[in-house]
Chain A
Amino acid sequence: MSILSYDFMQRALIAAALVGLLAPLIGVFLVQRRLALLGDGMGHVALTGVGLAFLLGTAPIPTAMATAALGAFLIEFIRYRSRTAGDVALALLFYGGIAGGVLFASLAPGKASSSLNAYLFGSLSTVASGDVIALLALCLVVIALLAIFGREMFAMSLDAELAAVQGIRVRMMSTLLAVLAAVVVVVGMRVVGLLLVSAIMIVPVAAAQQVTRSFRATAALAVLLGLVASVSGLVTSFVVEVPPGPTIVLEALALFAVLAVIAVPLRRRRSRSE
């Protein structure tokens, strides 16, 4: 395949596959907790990290990672402290994230503000060779943490108070989930872009849950859909020469539509059999 003869495309494909695999695994918990927009906010906060990296001349992935992780703790703190005005407080944080990112990037020397676009909507050529190792490492960390804490997160997402009565540290699990979402945002920022990366967390899950009957099946199908959308979206973007973020998200949305159509007769048959 000619596409694979380009080194940058090989790296971009690896990065896309990683985000397609990881994002729905986190998204399924976010949707279950009705926090679908949390990933969105995390992307906004990570943008400040990218702006800072431009300004300070540091590496974007670690800087964005640190900023997003800090944002995750802040978000959980705000959610815990202010039950009623929590969503407004979060909105303030998210606006601040975008504004900070754009401002820092504009202050940075050189053509930083124009390359900010690549971080907003994804780019085929920005995954550096060192990045692949960093992304793989982050991916392994996320999977290991899910293997250890996933069941407790599931119980917490079903009902936080019941989980607490089972001895589960709900605040710890909630914070861990937010941090994992931050990691996924950073893994996805290169190819999908910070403004759209949360779509890969949410859209495959929303698509899958139309036809599934269990949490496990929803997660598995969502990962499959996420992989299909991100890898094929990336290839499409190479062929058509458009940014990969939008193509990946539109392909995920197309999969959502297809499953919505499939779900109609399926649901009818099920309700008849009951």
Chain B
Amino acid sequence: MSAGSVVTVNRACVEFDGDHVLENVDLSIDQGEFIALLGPNGSGKTTLIRAILGLQPLEHGKVALFGTPLARFRDWHRVAVVPQRLPGATSIPVSVWEAVLSGSITPRGRWRPFPRSSRQAAQQALESVGLWSRRHDRLDTLSGGQQRRVLIARALSTSPDLLVMDEPTAGLDTANLQALTALLADLHAAGTTIIVVTHELTGISDLVTRAVVLRNDHHESVKYDGPPPVPADFDDDVHPHHDDLPEPPPPVELDPA
């Protein structure tokens, strides 16, 4: 695949009830980049990601994915998201296997039975995170770190060109963090464009090729955009000492599959 702009954000602005959450964001992400999107709570990291994925309407500005304006973008199979959790997996039992397969469900496949190739890809992805043996278990009986790995497998099973991860390292113990880092290194080496939304670079700092720091108190939300490490002037944004930051979640227990 030829290198090209995977994500283009042009003067993007988002307001919530008159509050300027994102101001004039310009961002161009090329194929193969590994981006860390940093900033304190309320800096608009999640909003920017939601805007890039078409989940957050813009007040002004434009977003394009793989060179196609968002409104006309249809190649959603090239994009995968790793959320922090699956809300619907707590109200009804959902097996690990079903959770992984759910990543491959698309409108295109609605007239056909679920393709065997998707099942094979899902199996491979689940094996790659070391949880194939747990496929019949209820997702919510797994530890937090294991559930995160299942959600990563869910995203990997579609072989995305762009992978977006929401706080993938939060609350992970050392073993799970190492497993995640190794997995991300492989993906990056294979040419996948990766955007990680995070509070901190711990654990993934060697992989990140570019850090983007957001803060919402000026005319431009992007405060730093360049190679890591983030210069000390912006370090406050990355490791905030404000009281409004919630306590970090307790580390997830070590639980090898």
Genuine A/B complex: yes
Binding site for B on A (CB under 8 A): 28, 31-34, 148-149, 151-152, 154-155, 157-159, 161-169, 205, 209, 212-218, 270, 274
Instruction: Give the distance in Å from the alpha carbon of A166 to the alpha carbon of B83 in the complex.
Output: 13
Instruction: Give the distance in Å from the alpha carbon of A167 to the alpha carbon of B158 in the complex.
Output: 13
B88 contacts across to A, CB distance below 8 A: 32-33, 157-159
- For this complex, 25 residue pairs linking A to B, each with C-beta atoms less than 8 Å apart, are A31-B92, A32-B91, A34-B91, A151-B110, A152-B107, A154-B105, A158-B87, A158-B88, A158-B99, A158-B102, A159-B83, A161-B50, A161-B55, A162-B81, A163-B105, A165-B79, A165-B80, A167-B76, A167-B77, A169-B107, A209-B93, A213-B93, A214-B94, A215-B94, A218-B93
B29 within 8 Å of A by Cβ?
no
Most A CB atoms within 10 A — which of B53, B88, B108? B88
For the complex formed, measure the closest distance between the CB of A6 and the CB atoms of chain B, giving whole angstroms.
39
User: Which chain B residues in 122-181 approach chain A with CB under 8 Å?
Assistant: 136-138, 141
Interface size of B in residues (CB-CB distance below 8 Å): 37
Mark contacts of B177-194 with chain A using CB atoms, 8 A cut-off: 1 yes-contact digit, 0 otherwise.
000000000000000000
> CB < 8 Å: which of A154, A209, A274 contacts B102?
A154
User: Which chain B residues in 42-88 approach chain A with CB under 8 Å?
Assistant: 50, 53-55, 74, 76-77, 79-81, 83, 86-88
Instruction: Give the distance in Å from the alpha carbon of A33 to the alpha carbon of B105 in the complex.
Output: 18
Nearest neighbor of A274 in chain B, beta-carbon distance? B141
DSSP class of B's interface residues: helix, strand, loop or mixed? mixed
Is B83 touching A217 in the complex (CB atoms < 8 A)?
Answer: no
A157 contacts across to B, CB distance below 8 A: 88, 92
B92 contacts across to A, CB distance below 8 A: 28, 31-32, 157, 205, 209, 215, 218
B40 within 8 Å of A by Cβ?
no
For the complex formed, measure the closest distance between the CB of A17 and the CB atoms of chain B, giving whole angstroms.
24
Instruction: Give the distance in Å from the alpha carbon of A111 to the alpha carbon of B95 in the complex.
Output: 52
Nearest neighbor of B56 in chain A, beta-carbon distance? A161
B106 contacts across to A, CB distance below 8 A: 166-168
Most A CB atoms within 10 A — which of B81, B105, B137? B105
Instruction: Give the distance in Å from the alpha carbon of A148 to the alpha carbon of B114 in the complex.
Output: 11
> CB < 8 Å: which of B81, B93, B108 contacts A215?
B93
Q: A159-B86, A166-B103, A270-B141 are in contact. Are A152 and B110 (CB under 8 A)?
A: yes
Is A31 touching B83 in the complex (CB atoms < 8 A)?
Answer: no
For the complex formed, measure the closest distance between the CB of A1 and the CB atoms of chain B, giving whole angstroms.
37
B16 within 8 Å of A by Cβ?
no
User: Which chain B residues in 101-117 approach chain A with CB under 8 Å?
Assistant: 102-103, 105-111, 114
Most A CB atoms within 10 A — which of B92, B95, B111? B92
Most A CB atoms within 10 A — which of B79, B91, B110, B114? B91
Is A215 touching B87 in the complex (CB atoms < 8 A)?
Answer: no
Instruction: Give the distance in Å from the alpha carbon of A155 to the alpha carbon of B87 in the complex.
Output: 11
For the complex formed, measure the closest distance between the CB of B102 and the CB atoms of chain A, giving whole angstroms.
5
Instruction: Give the distance in Å from the alpha carbon of A155 to the alpha carbon of B114 in the complex.
Output: 13
Besides the known contacts A162-B81, A213-B136, A214-B95, 4 further A-B residue pairs in the complex with CB atoms under 8 A apart: A155-B102, A158-B88, A161-B83, A168-B107
